[in-house]
Amino acid sequence: MQQLPDNITVLVQSPQLRCDEIEVVVTIPTFRRPEHLLETLHSVKAQVTERRFAIIVMENEAEEREGARAARARFEDGTFEGLLLLARDRGNCNAYNAGWLAALEYFPRFSSLIVIDDDEIADPYWLENMAKAKDAYSADVVGGPQIPVFAHLSQEKWASHPIFAPPYNRSGPVPALYSSGNLLVSRQVLETMPYPFLDPMFNFMGGGDSDFISRSVDHGFRTAWCAEALILETIPSRRLEREWIRARGLRNGVISTLVEKRKRAGKPFGGLSIILKSLVLLAFSPFKAVAKTLKSGSPAAGLYYIHVGLGRVLAEFGYANEQYRQPEKN
């Protein structure tokens, strides 16, 4: 029997699961989205690939366990092949860490772990395209686009906003990746990087994924982008409200500073250089905002760069915007 920490419980292991034959593990963290979780699971089950894969769902709501209750029967009858976990310690990073650790403990021969969130739907060729990109670009970590799906056609104009637009348009090696919402991580990375993989400091702020990838790159691992590995992300209307957009920009600025502080820790004048960089970025952000507004026709898209600049500076004073503390508003 595999050994996991007491705060991680395997609720269900699907029957006939042959752990030693699994090549790819797909992890799905979930928190109070039972209906969409099932849609996500069915999209993963429908993958067109010859690769043997298993699914790990990490329930991160220890009381009601809505996602676990919705998916349990389908794991028990083998509809979904894999594990249903309970990650008792609340927080985004804790959920990811639980699933990634379980993958290493239960599946001795998997070569790639892929992440999809419980508000996303995978293209039928998503898994295959991610795995092929890993091989084609000799990459250790591969990212892919999260294409926003809005509730109303009138909201489509938000697709080009920096918060929702993918960071790259073409496949190939890239210098950095920023999100785990559509991510492949090689087994070698997980075996090399220390546990917990994602720093719990980022549990309710987000950014643990960006920090993890940054540290992996510093370790010598290579990153790539796969434009063909599409995921559709459901965007609720509340995420288009001015307050949410502003908070996300400030948060992204804070994360940028915190990740950079870790990279430069111990280096001569590291802290000073970060402060100076943040001040320069904030000073130039109005010009970048004007340029973005003229190009996109969206003042909100332009303001984003000012919010990021402010967030970078505010981080120096201990500001942290923990949007995930109130999931109903996220």
The reply to whether 258 and 194 lie within a common domain is no
Total domains, the chain: 2
Distance from the first to the final alpha carbon of the chain: 38
Whether residue 224 is found in the same domain as residue 253: no
Q: Which of 190, 212, 237 is the last residue of a domain?
A: 237
- Lowest-pLDDT range of 105-119, 197-211, 260-274: 260-274
Instruction: Give the pLDDT confidence of 259-304 residue by residue, as tens digits.
Output: 888 877 777 777 788 889 889 999 999 999 899 898 888 889 999 9
Q: Identify the band that residue 320 occupies on the pLDDT scale cut at 50, 70 and 90.
A: confident
The DSSP line for 266-277 is TSTTHHHHHHHH
| Same structural domain, 38 and 87 | yes
Domain boundary among 211, 237, 263: 237
What is the arithmetic mean of pLDDT over 197-207?
92
Residues 255 and 167 in one domain: no
Specify if 42 maps to a domain. Answer: yes
Q: Structural domain of residue 263, as residue ranges?
A: 242-329
Specify whether 185 is located in the same domain as 248.
no
Coil, strand or helix at 71: helix
**Nearest CA to 219 among 103, 130, 140, 273?**
140
- Candidates 199, 140, 118, 136; CA nearest to 172 is 136
Q: Is 150 helix (H, G, I), strand (E, B) or coil?
A: strand
Where is the domain boundary, 237, 256, 276?
Answer: 237
Residues 202 and 281 reside in one and the same domain: no
What CATH number corresponds to the domain at position 96? 3.90.550.10
Do 143 and 256 share a domain, yes or no? no
Q: Is there a single domain that holds both residue 52 and residue 170?
A: yes
User: What pLDDT is attached to residue 1?
Assistant: 46
- Residue 15: count other Cβ atoms within 10 Å of its Cβ: 10
